[in-house]
Structure 1
């Protein structure tokens, strides 16, 4: 986003946050005028926010990334990537983050629009089952390995995925049909490396549990 656009948003009272996957990206975002930086570690599910340099170079884990971003910028830092429970939240706060951003943990909530077959895949997955893929969108993203990923990128694959946005456009009808049919093998099952900690509950129950777990984790360190 151009700095002029960020300035225009802020004149309207908008709180602007930007995602960084390296300390250098965090510094660049602060110079553009963002109000806070999301430090997104390589454990994160789905597409990450890398915008400077290669995706591979930006695969820095949350534990290593957050304190370096905290030291590099003066705006608040939000930790993201692999955080699933109160222990992760307490760890992020100890590293200097002011808050956390969580995605995978909420995908299995009752209120989430996640297809049932997707929720079941999340609830039964182990962390070693997630990997980086370009199969669905042409961009690098982390998800639970499934049949389509193996077809596109496994041994014997006949063709490599096309670049974004062409691959994304080509697979969209398949993904839509798979969601309706309950076929998790053809869905983009985006998930972070903390997926093994997924729980089935309401969003309110998850929020209450996260608060209690965070307090307990902090108390253990006191």
Structure 2
């Protein structure tokens, strides 16, 4: 490959990372994950989880499905209907409170698609297929991006902190973002490794239970670690330091 070809590829990679950074950074900012803001770790984690409403929205539909399916597997539409119904109620509440439509409808569409697949196949375990696919896709994306030196976390942090792709020239930041990317990939692949065998053996109750256990309880600590690392890489200047420079 000639030097001209490499020069052409580098701007293309930067443009792609800028677009991806804007998307990831915007999403992070909407859920309260902005390293530029002065917020406590506890507040950031709670905001990323969506507060009590976010916890209920994440847990109750799946919990209702698991309980009802365990008590009464047939008809399948009963447990699926209650699960989707709860997701619909949460969606209506969000829309009534004028939350962004994408945030309000995303969970309902995912729940509806999963339920439709389970009804079509007649297998309760298929209600968890979208989650398995999501873990596989996210895990692959985080791992590959980290290994090739374009960590998704670094791209998002670079956008939020206004340095674009300059972090790639900093060995300390590049290494930290690579390790964070691998850690997030490990979380998604761990979920897949535990849940996929249960899906293949049709152990619906165990699958649903472990999905809940490996959900927010593992997500929250990793969010906290990510936040602390990024804040350490981008320390906020004290008012005295800023004044002395002006």
Identify the structure with the greater helix proportion: 2
Identify the structure with the greater strand proportion: 1
Larger Rg belongs to: 2
Query: RCO greater where, 1 or 2, for CA within 8 Å and sep 6 or more?
Result: 2
Q: Is the TM-score greater than 0.5?
A: no
- Taking structure 1 as the reference length, the TM-score comes to 0.30
